[in-house]
Chain A
């Protein structure tokens, strides 16, 4: 019984850490402009719209976060093997991974922006100075919380995978969840705030991203400020739910059907029920949107 209670506590804590990680990951990727919406940041100067938006698509978010989280997990694991305090080891690993992220961000911004010089896009050194550190700070939060959640899974919940292997699994899932949920909000809603609300961006408008703020030119930090109100929390909820429910169904229900001879099947059945529940919610959301928003109508 005590084991289950500790398991539930750890599950809740890991879920909360994952929610923070998802929110920080999405905000980091929007401030740094990583992932699919960055295609528009890269395209804009080619269409004649020079801008001051950061441009650091090192790679897709999932492989990038796999690298950073695994790096941090690997270093933390090595330090714990040397009997360094676990919390310190996780922080050491995260700090180093954050510096790697900073180096990638700097080289990506300089390289990508320099490649646009023939379209008249300048490299802004003040943008590099002001934005890089902000993305690094958000990356630090995302990496630290993910590594801490992995550490809990490895030590408290006795998952068979070693910490670096868990880093690969959850780093990739973090990037996948964050980019899937957060990208449309940054790409459609923020970059194309000048387009109609409640409709997709026409392909003909590609590249015409919003470049001016209330006062002066828009900065990438403004984008983080905007997306942190919806895209970030939604990504956090997404990754938090993934981690929480994956652990919860196993910790609480794995042996619930053992007395009926179905050893271990409890977690599987609960997982299947949760999937069906999410399907019903999704269908409700779809019908709600169709009835409340109605069909697309062109502007008169």
Chain B
């Protein structure tokens, strides 16, 4: 069968149990490898890697909430924010990471909450400005193309949709989805950062101030890198545009989480080994 004859449409996004099991098996191997290769730091490395994997799963789940319309949204042809999935989610996640890293010296839970709120705040402001731009700049009310009624407010959608488009702007469900996606992204990114920071601090020996400046830099850059990996993986799962949690594509998220678990396993292992060995 040629590539054209194969019809991926119906099965696109379906959960594949065998492939998922293999991916999780690989993730377990990566964790075992970390334990085996890092000798006396083995337990610490396993703890860090599990934290990284949980953080990555949160990011992958969070990306699916962010309403992204891509290029069509820039012409008011589809609902969502007019930019790329990976980039918007990363923008929110990194804003969260900024807040989380700032609060890292206070404690784990404060830092995680600070990171989550930072990401959510960035999305809350951005989504509001998108709607203000549509409503007051272009005179277009928000309308979803995927549902008849907004699942939160119950507002009917089809009659507000312009002819020849799939909808436009951000209905309230998309707004809430965006904020929730930002919260999860900020939380996951900060968790990865803190796990790496704790591990590097032990390896590189903390200074009198409690943290090592090199450890902060390395943890920050690896956390940003891993965030991008997971956001791009999830963006591939979404394939272009998504309206938020009410979009049928949202149901694809388990596949992205499995992929994120596997990808963050190898990325995390490399991030730990690079510093531990060199």
Contacts and interface: CB of A to CB of B under 8 A. Distances in A.
B99 interface: yes
Given A185-B133, A242-B121, A203 B164 contact: yes
Contacts, number: 287
Contacts of A264: 103, 106-107, 110, 114
Contact of A200 (B87, B105, B125, B140): B140
B91 A281 contact: no
A83 interface: no
B98 A169 contact: yes
Given A36-B71, A159-B102, A161-B101, A199 B125 contact: no
Interface string B108-121: 00100110011011
B137 to A, nearest CB: 5
Dominant SS among interface residues on chain A: helix
Interface string A161-175: 110011011101101
Nearest to B155: A290
A58 to B, nearest CB: 13
Given A168-B94, A169-B95, A35 B83 contact: yes
Interface string B151-186: 001010001111111011011100110010000000
Contacts of A283: 153, 172
B210 to A, nearest CB: 11
Interface stretch (A98-106, A128-136, A269-277): A269-277
Interface stretch (B217-225, B256-264, B267-275): B217-225
A225 interface: no
B77 to A, nearest CB: 5
Contact of A296 (B90, B133, B163): B163
Given A172-B87, A180-B83, A245 B137 contact: no
B220 A189 contact: no
A285 B84 contact: no
A294 B39 CA distance: 67
Given A198-B139, A274-B124, A282-B127, A267 B83 contact: no
Interface residues of A, number: 82
A67 interface: no
B53 to A, nearest CB: 23
A192 B84 CA distance: 21
Nearest to A38: B71
A186 B171 CA distance: 21
B95 A267 contact: no
Nearest to A162: B217
Given A37-B74, A184-B73, A200-B165, A282 B128 contact: yes
Interface of A: 35-37, 39-40, 60-63, 159-162, 165-166, 168-170, 172-173, 175-177, 179-189, 191-192, 197-206, 230-231, 234-235, 237-238, 241-242, 245-246, 249-250, 254, 263-265, 267-268, 271-272, 274-275, 278-279, 281-283, 285-286, 288-290, 293, 295-296, 298
Interface of B: 70-77, 81-84, 87-88, 90-92, 94-95, 97-99, 101-107, 110, 113-114, 117-118, 120-122, 124-143, 153, 155, 159-165, 167-168, 170-172, 175-176, 179, 211, 213, 216-217, 220-221, 224
16 contacts: A60-B84, A63-B87, A165-B217, A177-B129, A180-B88, A184-B74, A189-B138, A234-B129, A246-B121, A249-B117, A254-B106, A264-B114, A271-B117, A272-B120, A293-B139, A293-B141
